[in-house]
Amino acid sequence: DSGVTQTPKHLITATGQRVTLRCSPRSGDLSVYWYQQSLDQGLQFLIQYYNGEERAKGNILERFSAQQFPDLHSELNLSSLELGDSALYFCASSVDISGGTDTQYFGPGTRLTVL
Amino acid sequence: AQSVTQLGSHVSVSEGALVLLRCNYSSSVPPYLFWYVQYPNQGLQLLLKYTTGATLVKGINGFEAEFKKSETSFHLTKPSAHMSDAAEYFCAVSAYRIQGAQKLVFGQGTRLTINP
């Protein structure tokens, strides 16, 4: 158990819909990262938040957005869903104090299926 | 940009045999390198990481990896495979030194199968 929790575990929805994925980081971790894992793209970094502020952005679609709340939990919002958005979405957290060497601890993921 | 390439999407070894999973990196600056393992229906777990210093890095579950700058490699090894090692393994490089971001850039993964 990494200490990172993600809900829900599974999500099945239809094209055009909007969903919210939730992540609670390990106690004491200030940074939250979102990754997407799909068969064709592999593991791709989406976005990082540090203590409530966006820190880095990766290959995140404009239909996707995220935020980190004062209690440090984070939400990833996916809208106008397409079939190709079906994937496993991971949240990770780290202390983020060691300039790139911190270990990122991953949650169990949310499996999104778009029908 | 930094990247990693994992050679072999699928590796199969017998129980008790040597495990060797290959990873080559591309980076214009000294890289920070990581190996993660993903068991079925679970998240990723750190096996080991290389930042600076000793080039032979020991990790959990008997795994180790050696950073070889001349070969731009960071191969993962384990002397004797166990059935419980069956999983997907990911090599990753931190983008911090180039982009100032803690994001990890992952390879495509190698699925390790252990034959009894």
The tokens for B70 are 């001349």
Which residue of chain A has the CA closest to B96? Answer: A100
User: B79 burial class (0-12, 13-18, 19+ CB within 10 angstroms)?
Assistant: exposed
Report residue A17's pLDDT band, with 50, 70 and 90 as the boundaries: very high
Contacts (Cβ under 8 Å, ≥6 apart) of B3: B25, B26, B27, B93, B105
Q: How near does any CA of chain A get to the CA of B19, in Å?
A: 23
Q: Do β-strands B110-115 and B10-14 pair in parallel, antiparallel, or remain unpaired? A: parallel
Q: How near does any CA of chain A get to the CA of B10, in Å?
A: 14
At B39-92, the pLDDT tens digits run 988 899 999 999 988 899 999 999 999 999 999 999 999 999 999 999 999 999
Q: What is the Cα–Cα distance from A26 to A94, expressed in whole angstroms?
A: 8
Q: What percentage of chain B has pLDDT greater than the value 90? A: 79
Which residue of chain B has the CA closest to A111? Answer: B41
Total count of residues recorded for chain B: 116
Which residue of chain B has the CA closest to A9? Answer: B41
At A25-63, the pLDDT tens digits run 999 999 999 999 998 899 999 999 999 999 999 989 999
Chain A contact present for B97, CB below 8 A: yes
Residue B34: predicted pLDDT: 96
Report residue A5's pLDDT band, with 50, 70 and 90 as the boundaries: very high
* CA separation, residue A77 to residues A20, A89, B103 (Å): 5, 11, 20
Q: What percentage of chain A has pLDDT greater than the value 70? A: 99
Sign of CA dihedral A98, B23, A92, B27: positive
Q: What percentage of chain A has pLDDT greater than the value 90? A: 86
Q: Which residue's entry shows tokens 């496993």?
A: A88
Q: Is the pLDDT of residue B96 over 90?
A: no
In this structure, are residues B18 and B81 in contact, taking their beta carbons and an 8 Å threshold?
A: yes
Q: What is the Cα–Cα distance from B97 to B52, expressed in whole angstroms?
A: 13
Residue B91: predicted pLDDT: 97
Q: Is the pLDDT of residue A97 over 90?
A: no
Set of chain A residues whose Cβ sits within 8 Å of the Cβ of B42 = 108
Is the Cβ pair A42, B99 closer than 8 Å?
Answer: no
> What is the 3 state secondary structure string of chain A?
CCCCEEECCEEEECCCCCEEEEEECCCCCCEEEEEEEECCCEEEEEEEEECCEEEEECCCCCCEEEEECCCCCEEEEECCCCHHHCEEEEEEEECCCCCCCCCCEECCCEEEEEC
Residue A59: predicted pLDDT: 84
Residue A96: predicted pLDDT: 76
Say whether B98 sits in a helix, a strand or coil.
helix
Query: What's the whole-number average pLDDT of chain B?
Result: 93
Residue A101: predicted pLDDT: 83
| Phi, psi at B96, each rounded to 5° | -60, -45
Is the Cβ pair B102, A109 closer than 8 Å?
Answer: no
Query: What's the whole-number average pLDDT of chain A?
Result: 94
Report residue B95's pLDDT band, with 50, 70 and 90 as the boundaries: confident
CB pairs under 8 A between A and B: 63
Set of chain B residues whose Cβ sits within 8 Å of the Cβ of A105 = 46
